[in-house]
Chains A and B, each alone.
Chain A
């Protein structure tokens, strides 16, 4: 087994050590922003590179990264990063403990704090070890380490422990086991009264107070000429307990100059809604998805990433555009001396040809004063506002509609080549490095079959891989758990059904009988219609990159979905033959009229009752 759709987890930075991440890392402008001497909140869907960038801030990664930039960064980086991981597994374990201890709300909360604190302390010790190993080996001494460890034992209320950081880390892990043991005992007891639970002192430690004293101790015992700050890098905060999210939101206003906070989370982090910290004053935002303001940056980064991939595959000294070609909807004949949209140009040809069979296009051109048999104009404004505007729609209708005997109908294409070329591939990846790496790797593998070396990747191969990628993405979206809403009659709607409704709504308007001069391609989440259950689903969709916020304002700290404009991920656009562009907007309620006729009755179901499957 193992096909062209190989295990995508191999590209997941979450499962890689920092030194492994560093071996493949291609920096971008967002990474450099992250290295600044400020608090940063990094927002992005899954696969957008948040964890990669966070891990690259660590000492281990920077010391492994074989690049001049790393050497420079190591000397100028104003902080030392403490990477604090979390993941779904950890999240579910904490939730499990909380559910089992529902009868003990105070203890439950204290337990959550204790477990998270231990995770943070574990990360801190690891960082201290790395700092000594990579940065401070010249001033390290056994006595100094012993002195530090004795202080840590005291601050963290650890039992007598060998005064080595390795042993401290093991002691923290042993403390974790003890904590779970206490929790298990209470879980199993049916008669314990909360007031009678006698907890060890270490349950009441404050994680930040511990970090402060411990880092001060470290800096005192290992003095450095250029004293660096400590950057606490909390990754995947959408999976952390709510109390931690809220606490970190307040910490963004922290005045302790020794510490920076780098937080990564989903595109719409609710916990930042009510923070008193001020965007641009107290913290900066980095949004890791392409929109109008940063699209060019993503193009540059994608080009560099693909360039590196091509090199790795032995395709040397070739630009991505040379190997993948240009996309038909961008520039049809760059090398030609022909001016676009002038008579005889490729654009002119395509529009003229389409107007021959598409009578609605003919009527449109005529109404705009452009002859359908010679679709050109000297008026630059008209050229831009009409011809340039209709071109993508014309290309798509040409590709996907057929005409016979005066009748126009849809045409299916197994491998539509309209979605090919470097621009289309980058657009389809929507700034997702993981997806881009996989697609390019698969294309090269497929194109190399039966050949020793390749110089270009044929359009049909690109189309095939992109289609497979879209199919796999749909399968994943369809299988996502916990994204269901249900009405009183028991009818359920999955997130995918919502997305499909939106896609089909746009599709119907692109391929309607009348040529759409102002096609719609984006939707606004109308605040007076969208129920909370749907908003929650859309939040999940944004987290998985299935919908993209098209016009975020990086100067505004607004983290709610309602009232915002979105498009479908371009990888999904292929399914409904949509153009890779924004187009006009429509209310979400219009798109979902048939799927959710009466919105009030649809709610997120409570704890699932057992399925028949479980009873079999």
Chain B
């Protein structure tokens, strides 16, 4: 399944959703974990699941468990470090025989492993419903002072959110600042990135939170210039998504990216979703974890709820390759080759983009514009633009097709019968997620 849409949803809109197939929540020692389930208690929700932490059974936890039971939730004990239970629950939900499934995930009291697992599983779903809508809901807590900082122990990619790349490009580090001291500075020092950017929430629900973030990250913020530090509004998830997306896309041409969201949770969620939104981006999502221990302090709900609705759709069956030449598809829009940026603007209008040149010139022109083919094709395909290639060079077409790393439409225009035969051969070796059709060319 591919992620096809994302939007911020109000609580009222969530309550208005006609049919919710399932809700998954977590029961811990925080009072806020039952806040949303209570708000939705009168909604039509087919199945209600709650994951209970195996450890840290406190008085408030027992009360929360009782509350969930009263609300009709089916409890599953789970290890906060493991995604086994949540995977089973998700599989159970997705086995419902329906074309569309809607799920609410209240991740307010979940561990990162749990809600990250839900997101990372989705691309692997190849059967079952055609569309899945997941509403990720977060209940912020009342402000509490940060815990005494403990040194970082674990730093590295979250399972399911790593895209290895050759180290020929330098690293750009993007940190979503939390309010615990020295967490971000330790990461900065460990990675030694070529460029570092920081995000923090302002305005936040509580000014004290922003103040603590600034105070407890002052050494790092002192090291960064103003244009590397971004503030985002806590209550506008789409704004956060846009800012992060824009920055990552801009950086991706020249850098490998580490995105390390240290907090708050909605920022972490948006970061995880960004990974799915842009499968061609060389970005890893990292976690930074300190030691266990500390007080179990209750977190009461602030009273608001932030909901992010995400849609996933199954990719149509793209394994079949149409070798036949459809006469009705004989559309070629030829244009003079010109600087890439101007061409892009025309292509968006015309919905076609044509390369028609000798391969040597092609590479030279693209090289001058600083754009590598794969990156260019990715950008174009993301916009839904079909790509037409007409070339006398067989090797070039073979190679170009293999550079296309993401699902998209790659249309090859063959010049003669021999080339058509070669392209059929190409079909056997091409990236299986790329479909293409052979068209006759109108000539150069």
Contact = CB atoms under 8 A, between A and B. Distances in A.
A115 B154 CA distance: 23
B408 interface: no
Given A5-B223, A476-B185, A615 B111 contact: yes
Nearest to A8: B223
Interface string B362-389: 0100010000111000000000000000
A201 interface: no
State which size class the interface on A falls in.
35 or more
A1 B395 contact: no
A327 interface: no
B405 A177 contact: yes
Contacts of B374: 170, 174
B363 A166 contact: yes
Interface in B388-439: 393, 395-396, 398-399, 402-403, 405, 429
B422 to A, nearest CB: 10
Interface stretch (A94-102, A129-137, A223-231, A249-257): A94-102
A85 B168 contact: yes
B80 A615 contact: yes
B168 A122 contact: yes
Contact of B292 (A85, A115, A170, A610): A610
B166 A122 contact: yes
Contacts of A167: 363, 399
Contact of A610 (B111, B164, B226): B111
Interface in B94-153: 109, 111-113, 124, 141, 147, 150-153
B182 interface: yes
B123 to A, nearest CB: 9
B58 to A, nearest CB: 12
Given A96-B157, A490-B293, A610-B81, A479 B168 contact: no
Q: Most B CB atoms within 10 A — which of A5, A88, A166? A: A88
Interface in A107-163: 115, 118-119, 122-123, 126, 159-163
Contacts of A508: none
B290 A613 contact: yes
A607 interface: yes
Contacts of B186: 479-481
B191 A88 contact: yes
A14 B256 CA distance: 14
Contact of A608 (B191, B194, B290): B290
Given A9-B192, A608-B154, A615 B182 contact: no
Contact of A612 (B153, B154, B294): B294
B359 interface: yes
B182 A478 contact: yes
A92 B109 CA distance: 28
Given A162-B359, A484-B153, A613 B180 contact: yes
B167 A480 contact: no
B151 A484 contact: yes
Contacts of A96: 156-157, 159, 162, 164
B125 to A, nearest CB: 11
Nearest to A15: B194
A1 B291 CA distance: 31
A162 B182 contact: no
Given A9-B194, A94-B164, A616-B299, A482 B225 contact: no
29 contacts: A7-B225, A9-B195, A9-B196, A15-B170, A85-B168, A87-B171, A89-B171, A89-B284, A90-B167, A92-B157, A93-B164, A115-B164, A118-B166, A164-B363, A174-B374, A177-B405, A476-B185, A478-B182, A479-B183, A482-B153, A484-B151, A486-B291, A492-B291, A605-B291, A613-B147, A613-B180, A614-B80, A616-B141, A616-B265
Interface of A: 1-3, 5-9, 12, 14-15, 85-90, 92-97, 100, 115, 118-119, 122-123, 126, 159-164, 166-167, 170-174, 176-177, 180, 188, 472, 475-476, 478-484, 486, 490, 492, 494, 605, 607-616
Closest 10 interchain pairs by CB? A479-B186, A15-B194, A481-B152, A90-B167, A93-B164, A608-B153, A479-B182, A609-B292, A479-B185, A2-B225
